[in-house]
Each structure stands twice: as C-alpha cells, then as structure tokens.
Amino acid sequence: MGEAETPSFEMTWSSTTSSGYCSQEDSDSELEQYFTARTSLARRPRRDQDEPVEWETPDLSQAEIEQKIKEYNGQINSNLFMSLNKDGSYTGFIKVQLKLVRPVSVPSSKKPPSLQDARKGLGRGTAVRRRTSFYLPKDAVKHLHVLSRTRASEVIEALLRKFLVVDDPRKFALFERAERHGQVYFRKLSDDEHPLRLRLLAGPSEKTLSFILKENDSGEVNWNAFTMPELHNFLRILQREEEEHLRQILQKYSRCREKIQEALHACPLG
C-alpha cells in the first residue's frame, strides 16, 4: 500500500472484556498444545445458520458518487463523514468488528502491547523468534479511516500491523454482514474489493452492512500460510497420530487373534 493509501485509525472497544495472554514461546511442547488446539477448532462444524448472499455493486459516475456522499453524510449522527477528493477518490470511515476465536501471535514481551505501541507500528518489520499467544478482546471494534481504493487485503494487513500481530494475513478474512427480512447473511470479501465503496453503496446503517474480521476457514488448509516451525510441528503431530492409530489397529487384531486361539483350545479334538 502506497503512502497515500495507508489507513489512519481511530480505535474504540465495544467490550470491556480484558484480553488474555499466555506464554507461548517456541518450545516444541507448547507449540504442539497451541496448534493442536487451533487445528481442533478448525475441524469443528459451523453452528450458525447464516446464509451467504451476493451483493450488487453497480458502477457509479462521478456525479452519482458525489450525490451518494451527500446522502450518506446527511444520515449519520457523528463526525465520521465521507469526503470527496480532487482526484475523484473519496475517504471515509469503516467500522470493523473482530470475531477471532483463536489466539493471535505477537512478539513476546514483559507486558502486552498498548494501543500507543500499536500506533507506532513497533515490532512488525523485525524477525520474531519468541512469540506470545494473545486473545484479542471479545467483539473488539475498530474505526478505520481509509480511501475508496483501499483494498480488503490492505485493511487486514493494517489491522494486524497496528496490533503487532505477526501471523500471516492470509489466515484472516474480511466479511460483510447484513440483515434482511429477519435473516442474517455473510459474504467473504475478495482481496481486491474496496470496503469503503461497499459502505457508501449500502449507506451508514450497520444492519444493512457491517464488516467483520474472522479466521479464513475456507475448508481447505493453505499450508503456505504457515511458518517453517509450524509446518514441522504439524508433521510431528501427524506422525504421533499415525503411530497411535497403528497401535490401536495392532491391538485390535491381537485381541481377535487371542479370542480365536482361545476358541480353538476350547474345541474338543476329533
């Protein structure tokens, strides 16, 4: 993302729930506990019944965009206005709700990263050898000031950078949520979609459209999104699971063999 496209952030929390930290340094046993739990979560079936839906996103002329912005600003009850730029682009705010059920990885330190540290962007660009597993506050909400050409993938990267999260951005996805006729609908945004444009088309109503950051569970594991230690750890877990399955199979057939031999000995000769 170019310098002019870097989102500025005004952050608010929608929950007073304190975030949870647990020491998670790169030792084999701790990594196995962490990633085994994460893999188990990924295999759980979805409980919600929300349905996907495709939105219509018509192309707007410059005059239509200007009119849409006037209508949008006339409907909001805050100072989170949209503004038209001289180059034809426009800027405004989007609100993103974080609904992450798994811990994220941040650089290991004596204390959790503060919002002031996040604004300075500390820790993201350096190599990280020790990490801490960090649960973000439940239902945290961020207001992001973005451009109309800011892509969904850039929003995800900026969010992770602000909170010093060192996990691969491909592990996360930005979703849009809408309520229609008493039903809740979700759709995962593609990397190249522009959230602010969707916000303008939908209007300011959060029921009409809201944004949520969630884990990117597409049904298939993207192994390229994991680091080398994580991949080696998965191989160790698979090997142990394979050995355990083999032990159970051998034990099963051994018991069958013993029962057959007992039956043979019990049978009278002749």
Give per-residue pLDDT as tens, 7-51.
Answer: 544 444 333 333 443 333 444 444 444 444 444 444 444 444 444
Which has the higher per-residue pLDDT, 205 or 52? 205
Q: In the predicted model, is pLDDT for residue 162 greater than 90?
A: no
**pLDDT per residue over 167-221, tens digit each?**
889 999 999 999 888 899 999 999 999 999 999 999 999 999 999 999 987 656 6
Lowest mean pLDDT among 6-10, 129-133, 210-214, 255-259: 6-10
According to the model, what pLDDT value does residue 251 have?
94
For tokens 């649960």, name the residue.
135
According to the model, what pLDDT value does residue 139 have?
74
What confidence category does residue 238 fall into, taking pLDDT thresholds of 50, 70 and 90? confident
Lowest mean pLDDT among 98-107, 127-136, 154-163, 207-216: 127-136
Lowest mean pLDDT among 17-31, 91-105, 151-165: 17-31
Q: Sign of the C-alpha dihedral, residues 37, 40, 45, 46?
A: positive
Backbone φ, ψ for residue 244 (5° rounding): -70, -40
Distance CA 65, CA 264 (A): 87
Which has the higher per-residue pLDDT, 3 or 268? 268
Mean pLDDT of the region 263-268: 84
According to the model, what pLDDT value does residue 187 have?
93
Mean pLDDT of the region 152-174: 90
According to the model, what pLDDT value does residue 106 have?
83
Q: In the predicted model, is pLDDT for residue 158 greater than 50?
A: yes
According to the model, what pLDDT value does residue 180 have?
84
For residue 225, which of 179, 175, 173, 171 has the smallest C-alpha distance?
A: 171
Distance CA 134, CA 20 (A): 6
For residue 20, which of 166, 140, 172, 144 has the smallest C-alpha distance?
A: 140
According to the model, what pLDDT value does residue 58 have?
74
Lowest mean pLDDT among 56-70, 124-138, 158-172, 205-219: 124-138
Mean pLDDT of the chain: 76
